[in-house]
Amino acid sequence: MKSSSSLNSIGGVYASLGQYEQALDYLRKAEEIFVNSGNALIELGPLYHSMAQIFQQRELPDSAMILAEKALKTNLAFQPDHPHVAGNHVL
């Protein structure tokens, strides 16, 4: 799971530098590891939110909305009563 978290972090750095394709490459690799690990599925909500923000920055609102909804559904499945669930999904 450390490698998926590292990939997620690297993706975030690329996103902050405006290098969105590289960011998405790393985030997709992290997603694959999270999904295949089974016990790290809770990490998918924030990951999908990060991807949604990238698509929003790239002015691709339809893709951003799909991922934002996916992030919200994922977070609600794992943390339905957490106070930050809704606030974390502001694009």
Structure tokens, 80 = 């339905």
All residues at 6 or more sequence positions from 4 whose CB lies less than 8 Å from its CB, including other chains: 29, 30, 33, 34, 37, 40, 43
| pLDDT tens-digit readout, 53-77 | 999 999 999 999 999 999 888 888 8
Residues near 83 by Cβ (< 8 Å), separated by ≥ 6? none
pLDDT score at 64 = 95
The whole-number pLDDT of residue 59 equals: 95
Residues 3-46 have pLDDT tens digits of 878 898 999 999 999 999 999 999 999 999 888 887 677 788 88
- The whole-angstrom separation of Cα 55 and Cα 62 is 8
pLDDT of residue 78: 76
